[in-house]
Chains A and B, each alone.
Chain A
Amino acid sequence: MTKPAGMLTWKDLEIGSVVTEPGNASQYQTGGWRSERPIFDSSKCIKCGICYIFCPEGCIGQDAEGYFQADLFYCKGCGICARECWAKAITIVPEEE
């Protein structure tokens, strides 16, 4: 798709709404579903990567210094990373904060 979904008219769609661009699901902002978000405290983080392993969205990666961060474009705020973090380096806060 050349345009974002919200810009497409019915005439822009492929026959049968077939998706012809492999991997374009990555354009879908699942972060829009979130009501809470994780805050990563790098002073407590031991860089073990357990949050990265458990994240069901696969949206946690390492920054330049090796600390883990969630990509909020995709993070749905499920809180699994905070529950699993051994060092208690992740807290979940409501979106409005």
Chain B
Amino acid sequence: MAKRVGIEVSLAVAEAAKLANVDVVSAYPITPQTHIVEHLAELVANGELDAQYIPVESEHSAMSACLGASAAGARTFTATAGQGLELMHEVLYVASSMRLPVIMAVANRALSAPLSVWGDHSDVMAVRDTGWIQLFVENGQEAVDNVLCAFRIGEDPRVLLPVMIHLDGFHLSHMIEPVVFPEQSQVDKFIPPYQYPMPLHPDRPVTMGAFAPPIIYSETKKAQQVNLEAAKEVILQCWDEFGKTFHRYYSPVECYRSEDAKVLLLTMGSFSETAATAIDKLRTEGKSVGLVKLRLWRPFPFEEIRQAVKNASVLIVLDRALSFGGPGGPVCSEVRSALYGEDRKPKVIGFVGGLGGRDITPAGFEEIVNRGIEISQKGSDKEFEIYGVRE
């Protein structure tokens, strides 16, 4: 029988990696992710998890060690956050380009300066184009489920790509939540053994990440793009299979009371639960509002987004990151771009908020929705607004 326990979400993520029976963990601690790798270190030290734990001197080295392990055919896991993710930056491209399915939990954190250990999506957006599959989770259960799914998706022979599971730093990583852990036997069945087709082996020498002159580089990038786009089909199959096995269902874009709504709010990550509370309140007041939650960030679910919002007249997007000097938040920018060519599309209104751990309460989401409706009617001379900032 699957167990339902109260557990800190960071620890639950580590337990999920244990259930997936990882072979190698290489990591460097950083707030608010530390508890994940700390717990994995404990599990290995206690003999509860038969894995190599490689402590390193930086995140750059952590990701590099993960690449080597994955290339040798090991099931590989790591976790990081904020500045740590930035220090990994260049190596992230190497993981995806070499098609190495490293699985990484990211406890999303704001970037310096000024120093902030608290959560937002600045770190995610800075690594948007690194070629990783990226998905957001809302609560502890989703985090555990999607860490398990990440191994199955990333290691699928049709995919072979690294996967980031984004969970909000502190707002989610440090919560103690009820989580149902599947049985080991169920997980073993759900995640087949990892078999990299061309692992590093002295008997079958291969060169990975060799140089590519101009005559071939474009072809390598086209192959990578096609591969990441095609991964979506496998992601959908995995979530479908997960649902059939564990009775919890996931999809790239998830809707809450949105079917007939004239005004939609779009969020990512753990703030979606708070936003849903606000939607309930606004509905009781008779307002025609609904919520759209973007789970799959890369590959971007163009069709699902278009379908989810096509009947609305206003779409309010909340970003938790700022594209300085740009058109507003990165999510809003991409959603707007995805809808630009559509005949039927809502007016897209962008907000940036929840930066550096700033809360947005249910009342705050009500304010955002009401202000968004106001802007949609009266217009605004700004590309976007920062919610809750003191003027």
Contact = CB atoms under 8 A, between A and B. Distances in A.
Interface of A: 5-6, 8-20, 22, 28
B97 interface: yes
7 contacts: A8-B219, A13-B219, A16-B99, A17-B216, A17-B223, A18-B98, A18-B198
Interface string B191-219: 00000011000000111101011011011
Contact of B226 (A10, A15, A18): A10
B198 A14 contact: yes
Contacts of A20: 198, 206
Given A9-B219, A10-B219, A10-B222, A17 B198 contact: no
Interface size class of B (residues with CB under 8 A): 20 to 34
A15 B220 contact: no
The 5 closest A-B pairs by CB, nearest first: A16-B99, A19-B207, A10-B222, A10-B219, A16-B98
Given A5-B213, A11-B223, A16 B207 contact: no
B94 to A, nearest CB: 10
A16 B208 contact: yes
Contacts of B213: 5, 28
A19 B97 CA distance: 13
Nearest to B212: A17
Given A15-B198, A17-B98, A19-B210, 20 more contacts: A5-B215, A8-B219, A9-B219, A10-B219, A10-B222, A10-B223, A13-B220, A14-B198, A15-B160, A16-B97, A16-B98, A17-B97, A17-B210, A17-B212, A18-B206, A19-B206, A20-B198, A20-B206, A22-B205, A22-B207
Interface in B330-361: none
Contacts of A28: 213
Contacts of B275: none
B13 to A, nearest CB: 27
B219 A18 contact: no
Given A14-B198, A18-B98, A18-B206, A6 B219 contact: no
Contacts of A19: 206-208, 210
Nearest to A11: B223
A37 to B, nearest CB: 21
B69 interface: no
Nearest to B94: A16
Contacts of B98: 16-18
A12 B372 CA distance: 49
Of the listed residues A8, A17, A18, the one surrounded by the most CB atoms of chain B closer than 10 A to its CB is A17
A16 B215 contact: no
A1 B208 CA distance: 14
Contacts of B223: 10-11, 13, 17
Contacts of B206: 18-20
B154 to A, nearest CB: 13
A19 B99 CA distance: 13
B219 A16 contact: no
Contacts of A15: 99, 160, 197-198
A5 B216 CA distance: 6
B100 interface: yes
A14 to B, nearest CB: 7
Contacts of B226: 10
Contacts of B210: 17, 19
Contact of A8 (B97, B99, B216): B216
A67 B199 CA distance: 45
Contact of A18 (B207, B215, B216, B218): B207
A58 to B, nearest CB: 18
Given A10-B226, A22-B205, A17 B220 contact: yes
A12 B197 CA distance: 16
Interface string B90-103: 00000001111000
A15 B155 CA distance: 13
A18 B208 CA distance: 5
Nearest to A32: B213
Contacts of B220: 10, 13, 17
A1 to B, nearest CB: 10
Nearest to B216: A5
B99 A6 contact: no
Nearest to A9: B219
Contacts of A10: 218-220, 222-223, 226
Contacts of B197: 15
Contacts of A5: 213, 215-216
